[in-house]
């Protein structure tokens, strides 16, 4: 049996946070370099921006495959190999001489990151008692959230000195450090790390409750993605802010995401009715979305509303993840891997829907769209709550 602790395995959680930060940063921190990369590679800026969709697609595919594979051969090989391969892909990408090869290695890197994320959530879930699972997963998710707060500003600062290629090499070193940390903290010889005795059952993994939760997760990711992708553009269009003036509002937005994730982990373990916590958080975020995108009397109020909106959205995420992780051990990797796939669908959907809404009615359309999706997510969570856990 996998060793389950009543306390939190802080060494493993720290290594998982570092790995999550490196995986998310491999794509997200490309944002400050779009113009520089387009000039260097002699392509248009929108073409460079499309690397986000390419990375997300590769991430989603390998997340499902990596989760399934971890239930067949064990988690430890993937948790060590994926960040190591990510480090290599980042270093090779830094030396690529054309956009084609940058795109190829960016897709490889996205695939490595996808193969890692679902598996690391499954590993941490399997190493803690259910009463601690919300907090443990909340801390791991904070590694992803810190990319917006620390990763992007750090990329801009370091990249101003050594360029986008130098930054990729730094990220490769960080991913290699995560690999070493996971090698030291992920144990050997337990059920979660070795080949399963029985073949995982897809029927067990894809129960109606799990499928309902995964569908609900798509709605939640679109709600978050609409703000995460377009909040800076919304502020620029509404208040005419420069890039320098965007720094503080975006930092406040990122702090709301981190705070919501950590507080949400506490609520997930204290209140115990996790899907109700998630449903309430989504319903409250629906109201916040309407106010944020339909009423903006001043920059200060809009930034404060952005903080509230992203905090409420993040507040329910640990409860959602803990509920999704409450499946049999032999299919947990598959289920949480599929969560990475549906999250990628949500991100791509957010980018596409946001662009369509802006062209149709402007940012005013974001409020009703995000509110409707959030309420749909809340209803979906309540329906899943009524189903018998698998």
Q: What is the mean pLDDT of residues 365-378?
A: 95
Selected from 1.20.1250.20, 3.90.1150.10, 1.10.3720.10, 2.130.10.10, the CATH number assigned to the domain covering 10-185 reads 1.20.1250.20
Q: What is the mean pLDDT of residues 259-282?
A: 92
Q: What is the mean pLDDT of residues 294-316?
A: 94
State the pLDDT at residue 261: 92
Q: What is the mean pLDDT of residues 293-309?
A: 94
State the pLDDT at residue 134: 85
User: What percentage of residues in the chain have a pLDDT greater than 70?
Assistant: 92
Instruction: Please report which residue ranges of 75-132 form alpha helices under DSSP H.
Output: 76-95, 99-126
Residue 42 has pLDDT above 60, yes or no: yes
Q: What is the pLDDT of residues 341-366, one digit of tens each?
A: 998 888 888 888 888 888 899 889 99
DSSP run (H or E) holding 241: none
State the pLDDT at residue 150: 82
Spans of all domains in the chain: 10-185, 202-385
State the pLDDT at residue 390: 42
Q: What is the mean pLDDT of residues 271-290?
A: 94
Domain 202-385 is of which CATH architecture? Up-down Bundle (1.20)
Q: What is the pLDDT of residues 81-118, one digit of tens each?
A: 999 999 999 999 999 989 999 999 999 999 999 999 88
Enumerate the β-bridge partners of residue 5: 128
Residue 1 has pLDDT above 50, yes or no: no
Residues making up the chain, counted from first to last: 390
State the pLDDT at residue 159: 84
- Map 146-212 to HEC letters: HHHHHHHHHHHHHHHHHHHHHHHHHHHHHHHHHHHHHHHHCCCCCCCCCCCCCCCCHHHHCCHHHHH
Phi and psi at 97, nearest 5°, equal -100, -5
State the pLDDT at residue 389: 47
Q: What is the mean pLDDT of residues 19-37?
A: 85
**366-385 and 208-239 helices cross at what angle (nearest 10)?**
160
Among 231, 23, 8, residue whose Cα is nearest residue 136: 8
Q: Which of 241-250, 291-300, 304-313 has the lowest mean pLDDT?
A: 241-250
Residue 172 has pLDDT above 90, yes or no: yes
State the pLDDT at residue 131: 83
Tell me if 10-185 shares its fold with 202-385. yes
- Cβ neighbours of residue 223 closer than 8 Å, sequence gap 6 or more: 282, 285, 289, 313, 350, 370, 373, 374, 377
Give CA–CA dist 353/174, Å, rounded: 34
- What DSSP line would sit under 339-381, residue for residue? HHHHHHHHHHHHHHHHHHHHHHT-GGGHHHHHHHHHHHHHHHH
Q: Which of 52-66, 86-100, 150-164, 359-373 has the lowest mean pLDDT?
A: 150-164
């Amino acid at each position: 049996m996998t060793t389950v602790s009543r306390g939190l395995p802080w060494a493993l959680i720290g290594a998982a946070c570092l790995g999550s930060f490196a995986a998310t940063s491999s794509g997200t921190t490309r944002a400050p370099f779009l113009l520089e990369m387009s000039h260097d590679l002699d392509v248009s800026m929108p073409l460079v921006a499309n690397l986000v969709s390419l990375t997300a697609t590769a991430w989603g595919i390998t997340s499902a495959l990596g989760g399934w594979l971890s239930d067949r051969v064990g988690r430890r090989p993937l948790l060590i190999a994926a960040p190591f391969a990510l480090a290599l892909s980042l270093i090779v990408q830094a030396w690529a001489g054309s956009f084609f090869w940058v795109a190829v290695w960016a897709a490889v890197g996205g695939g490595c990151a996808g193969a890692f994320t679902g598996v690391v959530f499954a590993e941490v879930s399997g190493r803690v008692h259910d009463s601690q699972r919300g907090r443990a997963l909340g801390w791991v998710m904070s590694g992803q959230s810190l990319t917006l707060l620390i990763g992007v500003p750090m990329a801009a600062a370091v990249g101003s000195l050594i360029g986008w290629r130098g930054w990729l090499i730094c990220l490769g070193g960080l991913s290699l450090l995560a690999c070493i940390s996971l090698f030291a903290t992920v144990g050997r010889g337990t059920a979660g790390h070795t080949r399963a005795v029985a073949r995982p059952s897809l029927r067990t993994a894809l129960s109606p409750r799990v499928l309902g939760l995964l569908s609900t997760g798509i709605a939640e990711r679109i709600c978050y993605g609409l703000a995460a992708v377009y909040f800076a553009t919304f502020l620029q269009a509404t208040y005419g802010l420069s890039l320098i003036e965007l720094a503080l509002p975006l930092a406040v937005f990122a702090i709301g995401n981190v705070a919501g994730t950590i507080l949400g982990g506490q609520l997930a373990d204290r209140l115990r009715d996790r899907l109700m916590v998630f449903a309430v958080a989504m319903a409250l975020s629906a109201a916040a979305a309407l106010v944020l995108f339909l009423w903006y009397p001043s920059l200060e109020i809009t930034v404060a509303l952005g903080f509230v909106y992203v905090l409420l959205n993040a507040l329910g995420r640990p409860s959602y993840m803990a509920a999704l992780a409450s499946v049999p051990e032999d299919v947990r990797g598959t289920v949480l891997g599929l969560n990475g796939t549906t999250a990628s669908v949500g991100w791509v959907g957010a980018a596409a829907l946001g662009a369509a809404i802006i062209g149709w009615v402007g940012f005013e359309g974001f409020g009703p769209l995000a509110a409707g999706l959030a309420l749909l997510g809340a209803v979906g969570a309540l329906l899943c709550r009524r189903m018998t856990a698998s």
